[in-house]
Amino acid sequence: MDSLTSREREIVLVLASGGLSNKDLGRRLNLSEGTVKVHLHNIYQKLGVKTRTALVVLAHTEYASVSPLPHTASFEFEKPGLEFA
């Protein structure tokens, strides 16, 4: 993943967190659908993957040891020593 630009990494993270279509990725990142397609093509080539599924699996593998992806983050609603009324 080190070979990716910051925008390409952003696209990978958003794709891995929600499985969005190119159109929805573009909306979320304020890019045209065509620009998303170009970025994905470049990402596939740089990482040697051929499918979105392979890209998402790779992203989960790479980023799992760094930090949780947005949809897999765990939230603590109760902190030790705090009481909620």
* Distance in angstroms between the alpha carbons of the first and the last residue of the chain: 46
For the chain, where are the alpha helices, taking DSSP H only? Answer: 6-18, 22-29, 33-47, 52-64
- The pLDDT, as a whole number, for residue 59 is 86
Who contacts 11 (Cβ-Cβ below 8 Å, separation ≥6)? Answer: 25, 29, 36, 39, 40, 43
**Model pLDDT, residue 32:** 95
Note the pLDDT of residue 70: 54
For the chain, domains (ranges, CATH) are 6-72 (1.10.10.10)
The pTM for the full model equals 0.69
CA distance 5 to 52: 18
Mean pLDDT by 10 residues, the chain (85 residues): 88 87 93 94 94 89 63 45 47
